[in-house]
Amino acid sequence: MGRVVAIVGRPNVGKSTLFNRLTGTHEAIVDEIAGVTRDRNYGKVEWQGFQFSLIDTGGYVLGSEDVFEEEICKQVNFAIEEADLIMFMVDVTTGITHQDEVIANLLRRAKKPIVLIANKVDNPGNSYEASEFFSLGLGEVFTISAITGSQSGDLLDEVVKHLSEHGHEEAPDLPKYAVVGRPNVGKSTLINALLGTERNIVTPVAGTTRDSIYTRYNKFGHDFFLIDTAGLRKRTKVHEDLEFYSVMRSVNTIERADVCIMLIDATEGLQSQDQNIFHLIVRNNKGVVIVVNKWDIMEKDTDSVKEYTEKIHKEIAPFVDVPIVFVSALSKQRIIKVLEEAQKVYENRTRKIPTSKLNNVMLPIIEALEPPMYKGKLVRIKYVSQLPTHYPTFAFFCNLPQYIKESYKRFLENKLRENFDFKGVPIQVYMRKK
Ligand code: GDP
Ligand code: GDP
């Protein structure tokens, strides 16, 4: 199901203001690990129970004004290819500019839903000024004020309507795995080794929508879909080293997957771009198997696997309950093990713990170590239940949910992991008012 939205538009129209408003992020999120700044241009939006990924393409435009036009055209084309819907933002206070026209020309040819947004309509009385944008030939104009948030609800209604109409893809109810990772880590090599044929490699035509993105795999007792990736189809090899392309492409793939098979290059270790991909997977609540590829060319001794595992754990902490497989895609060593781990993670992600069992295990643990008192008040957890979501989510019912600290939630999560197998699966822990 496609749920990736990209905001495009020239600089200063208000893209990042809208992005922050919709994703609710106002500052860079600094990660606990190694002070890594997470990607500020990617976030999740939830509207009326519907979730989608939002990418602010503008945040990635670097360089001087003259490289801008060429670069923006590339990015807009790429966004058209990878996103399921494009928000095109213009500015009522300036009217149509040459750059707006350039972008509109690209978008008119796209076979994706486009939502045209005229921003900076701070005073609803001024919305008539937006009518000139009809001449861009992109249909209805949504007037909003990104600063005040006025009309952003109508905008979200429209986006969600499109995504739920266009978002369904034909695929039987089988596990969906995606092979993700930086360029050159060995994604195509692994996929080709698994499929044992190169017939599935299709030469893409830039800017066209993809006809089929799932390849069914039915061998060695496994039956699942492999989701098309950059490596599989060798789609436009545009500056994939730029964060923008890497994020657009990874998000698109991750959104469609149940479990992500994340490759890293053993000789290079887990780099910051790998960490970003890992965070994208976790923030999307998808299952993950880490595959350390090119293990054949590593110098090894008896402790190598253990040492390498510890190093990865340091780099992905606090979520370290993840299977790690050491393989060589080139010589097909342990590649079936990758599928076995993915299968287990898939099962873990769909696991539903009966409420009685959950409480029998968790309540004594909570009793033995209760949440700390807050301002002299006892904080009591009464019971817990797993919510009927697509990924494991647990609600702990409590008298004073707002007084439970992150550290205690982390403790509960660890206990859930110790007692029930959720290896490879991000889990959500919520406190609810009883
Ligand atoms: P971007 O380059 O497209 O990401 O644009 P920004 O979000 O950085 O906004 C550019 C400027 O426009 C900033 O000074 C914002 O405060 C301002 N701006 C954004 N949205 C609005 C709006 O709805 N009304 C007004 N008056 N100014 C806005
Ligand atoms: P992708 O960009 O992630 O799809 O990476 P490719 O599959 O194109 O692989 C990039 C390079 O790494 C190619 O030269 C592969 O032959 C090489 N490669 C891939 N897997 C392995 C492996 O397991 N061992 C070694 N030594 N090289 C590999």
User: Greater confidence, 419 or 53?
Assistant: 419
- Amino acid 226: pLDDT: 83
From start to end of 253-352, where are the E strands? 259-265, 287-293, 324-326
381 pLDDT more than 70: yes
User: Greater confidence, 79 or 348?
Assistant: 348
CA of 356 to the centre of ligand 2 (A): 48
Residue 306, classified by CB atoms within 10 Å of its CB into exposed (0-12), middle (13-18) or buried (19+), is exposed
* Cα–Cα distance, 137 to 140 (Å, whole number): 9
What residue owns the CA closest to ligand 2's atom 24?
Answer: 294
In single-letter form, the type of residue at position 292 comes to V
Q: Which atom of ligand 2 is nearest to the CA of 230?
A: 4
| pLDDT tens digits, 289-315 | 999 999 999 999 999 999 999 999 999
Mean pLDDT over residues 128-137, rounded? 91
Residue 125: φ, ψ to 5° = -60, -20
* Cα–Cα distance, 216 to 72 (Å, whole number): 36
**CB of residue 179 inside a 6 A radius of ligand 2:** no
Share of the chain above pLDDT 70, in %: 84
pLDDT-based confidence at 223, cuts 50/70/90? confident
- Amino acid 37: pLDDT: 40
232 pLDDT more than 60: no
155 pLDDT more than 90: yes
Q: Which of 7, 8, 12, 94 to mutate to test the pocket of ligand 1 (most atoms within 8 A of CB)?
A: 12
- Amino acid 60: pLDDT: 57
**CB of residue 277 inside a 6 A radius of ligand 2:** no
353 pLDDT more than 70: yes
What residue owns the CA closest to ligand 2's atom 7?
Answer: 186
Share of the chain above pLDDT 90, in %: 52
User: Measured at the alpha carbon of residue 329, what is the angle toward residues 326 and 333, in degrees to the nearest 5?
Assistant: 60
293 close to 328: Cβ distance less than 8 angstroms: yes
With a CB cutoff of 8 Å and minimum separation 6, the contacts of 19 are 7, 25, 41, 43, 54, 56, 59
- Amino acid 115: pLDDT: 96
Nearest to 323 by CA among 223, 422, 183, 219: 422
Which ligand has an atom closest to residue 262 CA?
A: 2
Q: Give one word for 137, left, alpha or beta, with left for phi > 0 and alpha for psi -120 to 50.
A: left
* Cα–Cα distance, 284 to 278 (Å, whole number): 10
- Amino acid 65: pLDDT: 56
Average pLDDT of the residues of the chain: 84
* Cα–Cα distance, 3 to 50 (Å, whole number): 10
- Amino acid 230: pLDDT: 46
Q: How many angstroms separate the Cα of 22 from the Cα of each of 26, 60, 149?
A: 10, 18, 9
- Amino acid 344: pLDDT: 97
Which ligand has an atom closest to residue 19 CA?
A: 1
With a CB cutoff of 8 Å and minimum separation 6, the contacts of 400 are 374, 377, 379, 380
Which ligand has an atom closest to residue 21 CA?
A: 1
Is 269 strand, coil or helix?
coil
Q: Which atom of ligand 1 is nearest to the CA of 119?
A: 23
28 pLDDT more than 90: no
pLDDT-based confidence at 174, cuts 50/70/90? confident
pLDDT-based confidence at 38, cuts 50/70/90? very low
13 pLDDT more than 90: yes
pLDDT-based confidence at 198, cuts 50/70/90? very low
The helix, strand and coil proportions of the chain, stated in percent and rounded to the nearest 5, come to 40, 20, 40
CA of 330 to the centre of ligand 2 (A): 7
242 pLDDT more than 70: no
Would the pTM of this model clear 0.85, i.e. be above it? no
User: Greater confidence, 302 or 322?
Assistant: 322
**CB of residue 167 inside a 6 A radius of ligand 2:** no
Mean pLDDT over residues 367-386, rounded? 92
35 pLDDT more than 80: no
- Amino acid 33: pLDDT: 37
Residue 421: CA count within 13 A, CB half-sphere: 8
* Cα–Cα distance, 229 to 249 (Å, whole number): 8
200 pLDDT more than 90: no
